[in-house]
Amino acid sequence: MINPDYQITAISIAFDKQGKKMYFCQKFAQVQFQYAFQETQNMFPYSTYSPPDLTTSFNGLPSVLTSHDHEWKLRHDKQDKCTRCIELLEDKPIMTLRKEKNNYILRVENSDYIKNVIEYKWDGLAVEIVPFEDYMCNNPEYYTKPSRRNGQCRLNGQVLKPLYRDDLLKGYKKRKKAKDVKFVSYILKSDSISFFHRFSRYKVDRFTSEYFEIRLGKLPKGAASGAHNLVYIQDKQICHIDYYTGYCGNVYEPRETPEFIMLDTNFHRDFSPYHDLLTFEIPFKKNKSTFTIGEIDSYMEIISNTQHTFDSISIKAFASVEGDSISNDILQRKRAKNISKIILRDQLKSIETTIETSTAWDQFYSQIGPNPKWKFLASLDRNELKDKINNEYSKELEPILAKERKATVKLHYTVDLDKKNFFFSLNRDFQAYTDSLKAPGLHVTRTHYLLNAINDLYGYYYKLVIEEIITPADLAAVTLPNSFEANTPLTEKFIQYGYIYNEAFKKNTTWVSQHQSLSKNLFQNRQKQLSYTFIYNSCFLSSQKLMLQANVTQDEVQAILDQLELLEKLYKTSPSGRLNIEKLMLNMNMLLLNKVFVNEPEGKSEDAQKCIEQLYDYYEEKGTITDSIAFELANMFVYYEDVNSAVQILKPYLDLDYVRAYVYPMYYRHPTSEGADIVYNKLTELPDIMGITSWCSMFLNECKIPFQAFDHEKLRDIFCKKCMMENAYIKSLRE
C-alpha cells in the first residue's frame, strides 16, 4: 500500500459516538515539482522531523565518472576507446534524428560517415531519452543524479536498445535521382552565390547516390516523452552525445502580378471606296405584288454591315406564261417598283433605275422539253399553249410555272470609306488571298507572299477588336488557310488571340484542337524565329495555369524557366520586360517552394535555398525588403533546413522582440558545443533587453529553446527565478 515514491501523507479521524467506533483514514501522495515538505505541527506536535536541505549547486559534488551499471551492458570506464569517434566528429555531415509516431528515425545524407562510425562489431548508435523532470526548478536531482551535468555519468537519461554494426548496415538506401532545377542564368544573380557569400552557409555535403536512414527504437509504453539525443558507442563504450532540436519554419506564398504583354496593333492599311455588283433573284407568289422589308433585305445580307451607297439598280421581272401579257406587264412593273422602293428606302440621292418585264417563255420551254409527260406541249403555238394550261393543266403545271415568277435584281453599289466598312473590306481581301493559296502548282515564293499578307490582315482584325469596331467573336470566326502554320508570326497570333479572347475562341474548333500542339511545335522547331512577345506571353499563360493547379511537377516549372532563358535580350533592353520577367521568376520560385519541394524539404534543400536567395535578391534590388518579408523568408529557410541563413537575414531586425523570439532559439546549441559560451552569455543578458515575458517565451514550448539548454547552470538559475509564472509550458504543468 505504501509506495516509496510517495512524498507526503495525511490522516483523518472520525468518532461514532452512538456506535462507539473510531474511523481512521490515511492517504499517501506525490506532489509534482515539490521536493521539500514541512510537517503540520498541530497534527504532529511531538515530531522531531526536520526536512533535509536541498542541494542547490554542484559545489562539493565529485565530478568523476562513477562505477555503476548501465542498461544493455554499456560502459563508460575506458574512454580511450573513443579516440576514433572523437576524430570523426570533426567532419560531421548533416544529420537528423526525428520522432515519427513514437519511433526515432536517424537520417544521414552522407552515408560514408556512418560507415566510418561502425567500423567494428560492437560499434553502434542508440537513442537517449532525457526526462524534463530532472531539469525542473528546485529539483535537487539536477545536481545529485549521476549525469553529464555533474560528470558522474556519460548519460543523462534512459537509453533505448542500441543497434550495432550488423543491424546498422541495413540502413543504407539508394537515393532517388532527381534533376536539379536549372534557374534562368541572367536574372537576380541566379548563377551566383552572392547571398551565401554574404551569409556564410553551412557546408553542403556532396552526396553519393546512397544515404542512410534507420529506425533506432521506439518510445517505451508508459514512458514520458522527453528530449532525444543520439549516443555514439565504440566497443560498447559510451563515447559521444549528439543533441537535436526542432526549428519551426513554414512556406508562404506571396505572388507578384506580371502583365500580359499586349500584342502589336501597329498595322497600317489604306482603305478606298470599293465598287461592286450584287445580283440576286426574288421569287414571286402568284398574283402577289407586295413584299416585306425582311424578305428583300435577306438577299442583301452580305452588305448589311457596311456603310454603302447604291449607284444604280436594274430589275427584270418575269411572269409565268399562262397569264395575259398586258396584265402581266402591269403586275410585273408593280412588283419591280415595290422591290426598288424597299431597297432604296434609305437612299438619299436619286439613282439610275431600270425596270424590264418579260414573260418566261424560254424558261418554260426549257423545262417541259426534256419532260416526257409535257413534251407534247412544246409543239403548240403560244395561244394554244395558254388555253391548254388554263383549261386543263393549270394545277399540274403549277410547280413549273411558279419557278418562272421571279425578278432578277442587279445592284451596283459603293462601299464607302468608313470604319464600319473595314471589316467588310478585310474579309473580302482575306478571302481573296486565301483563295489564291488554293491555286495548283503555287510557287513557294508566292506562298510566302500570300501568307505574309494574310498575317498582316489577321493583325488588323485584332486591331479592329481593340478599337471596338468588331467583336472578339468576329475575330474568332476568321478561318485561316490550311497552310497557316507554315508562317510563324501568323501561328503566334492565332495561338495568342485564342488565349486573349478565350471565350470566343472556344467556338473555333481549329484553335481548341491544335493550339497546344502548335505552340509545342514552335518551341521545338522554330525557337529562333519566335518573337519575344510570344515567348514571354507563353510563359505568363503557362504560369497562370500552374498557379491554379493543385499539383505541380518540377518538369512543368522547368519548361517555363527554359522558355524564360530565351528572353535575355528583352530583359536587358526593356524596363517593363525586365520587371515582368522578374515577377514571373518570383512566381516560379513560389511554385517550386510551395508545390514542388514542399513535401521533400530535406532532399530539395539546396534547390530551395537557391529559390529563397532569388526572392531575397528580388526584394533587396527593389528596395522593398522589410522586417516582415525577411521574417517570412527566414521561415522558409528554416523549413528547408538552412537555419544559418535564416538567422543571418534577420540580424538587421534584432531590435524587434518578435524577431528576437524567433532568432535566439535558432542560436541554440548544447552548452558542451564549441563556441556555445557566446550564445549562453547572450541568452543570460537578454532578460534586461527584451523584457521578462518575451524572454521567458523563448523556452520549452514547441520549436523554442529546449530544456537541455539548462545544462548551463546559470541560464537555468535565471529561468527559474524569472519564468515560473511567465513560461507557458511551466504554467501548463502546474495547472
Q: In which band, very low, low, confident or very high, does the pLDDT at 294 lie, cut at 50, 70 and 90?
A: confident
> Which pLDDT band holds residue 514 (cuts at 50, 70, 90)?
very high
Q: What is the pLDDT of residue 424?
A: 74
| 79 vs 207, more confident | 79
- CA dihedral (106, 109, 110, 114) in degrees, to 10, reads 10
Query: Is 206 a residue whose pLDDT tops 80?
Result: no
Architecture of domain 285-414: 2-Layer Sandwich (3.30)
Q: Is residue 593 predicted with pLDDT exceeding 70?
A: yes
* Amino acid at position 558, single letter: Q
pLDDT of residue 200: 40
Q: What is the pLDDT of residue 188?
A: 64
pLDDT tens digits along 59-100: 989 999 999 899 999 999 998 999 988 888 888 887 889 888
**pLDDT tens, position by position, 226-279:** 899 999 999 999 999 999 887 888 888 878 889 888 888 777 666 666 777 889
**Is the pLDDT score of 599 beyond 70?**
yes
Q: Is residue 276 packed enough to be buried (19+ CB in 10 Å), middle (13-18) or exposed (0-12)?
A: middle
| Domain limits, the chain | 71-243, 285-414, 417-508, 531-597, 600-649, 654-735
Instruction: Specify the range with the lowest mean pLDDT, choosing from 55-59, 299-303, 477-481, 552-556.
Output: 299-303
Q: Where are the beta strands (DSSP E) in 335-394?
A: 352-359
Give me the pLDDT at residue 634, please.
94
What does the pLDDT average to over 698-711? Answer: 91
- Per DSSP, 626 falls in state -
The per-residue pLDDT for 421 is: 67
Task: Note the pLDDT of residue 605.
Answer: 84
Q: Which residues contact 98 (CB under 8 A, 6 or more apart)?
A: 104, 105, 107
Pairing of strands 124-130, 274-283: unpaired
The 10 Å CB-count burial string (b at 16+, else e) for 632-664 is: bbbbbbbbbbbbebbbbbbeebeeeeebbbbbb
CA-closest candidate to residue 616, choices 203, 192, 257: 192
pLDDT of residue 462: 93
What is d(CA 25, CA 13) in angstroms, rounded to the nearest whole number?
A: 7
Q: What pLDDT is stored for residue 420 in this prediction?
A: 66
Nearest to 540 by CA among 579, 508, 507: 579
pLDDT in tens, 497-507: 999 999 999 99
**Confidence class for position 191, pLDDT limits 50, 70, 90:** very low
SS3 content of the chain, % helix, strand, coil (to 5): 45, 15, 40
Return the pLDDT at 515: 95
pLDDT of residue 168: 94
Distance CA 616, CA 608 (A): 12
Per-residue pLDDT band at 15 (split at 50, 70, 90): confident
Q: How many CB atoms lie within 10 A of CB 676?
A: 17
SS3 call for 505: helix
Residues counted in the chain:
735
Using H for helix, E for strand and C for coil, what is the string for 250-292? CCCCCCCCCCCCCCCCCCCCCCCCEEEEEEEEEECCCCCCCCC
419 has pLDDT over 70: no
* pLDDT score of 571 more than 50: yes
Choose the weakest-confidence range: 97-101, 231-235, 560-564, 634-638.
97-101
- Average pLDDT, integer, range 574-601: 92
Q: Which residue has the higher pLDDT, 68 or 191?
A: 68
Taking residue 498's Cβ as centre, other Cβ atoms within 10 Å add up to: 21
* Of 421 and 91, the one with more pLDDT: 91
pLDDT-based confidence at 189, cuts 50/70/90? low
Could you tell me the pTM of the whole model? 0.69
Q: Which of 185-189, 196-200, 210-214, 382-386 has the lowest mean pLDDT?
A: 196-200
* The predicted structure's pLDDT at residue 193: 45
More confident residue, 38 or 293: 293
Q: Which of 396-405, 410-419, 438-447, 613-622 has the lowest mean pLDDT?
A: 410-419
pLDDT of residue 5: 67
Residues 150, 59 contacting (CB under 8 angstroms): no
Q: Give me 577's grid cell.
A: 520586360
Where would I find the H helices in 594-656?
A: 605-622, 627-639, 643-650
Q: What is the pLDDT of residues 660-677, one digit of tens each?
A: 989 999 888 899 988 899
Q: How far apart are the first and last CA of the chain?
A: 27
Q: What are phi and psi of 294, to 5 degrees?
A: -60, -40
118-149 pLDDT tens trace: 999 999 999 999 999 999 999 999 999 999 99
| Chain mean pLDDT for the chain | 87
C-alpha cell at 11: 490522516
Q: Which helix (H) or strand (E) holds 233?
A: strand 227-234
In the prediction, which pLDDT does 199 show?
47
Taking phi over 0 as left and psi of -120 to 50 as alpha, with beta for the rest, 114 belongs to: alpha
**216 SS3 class:** strand
What is the mean pLDDT of the segment spanning 280-297? 85
| Alpha-helical segments (H) within 134-183 | 141-144, 165-168
Q: Which helix (H) or strand (E) holds 407?
A: strand 406-415
Calculate what percentage of the chain has a pLDDT beyond 70: 94
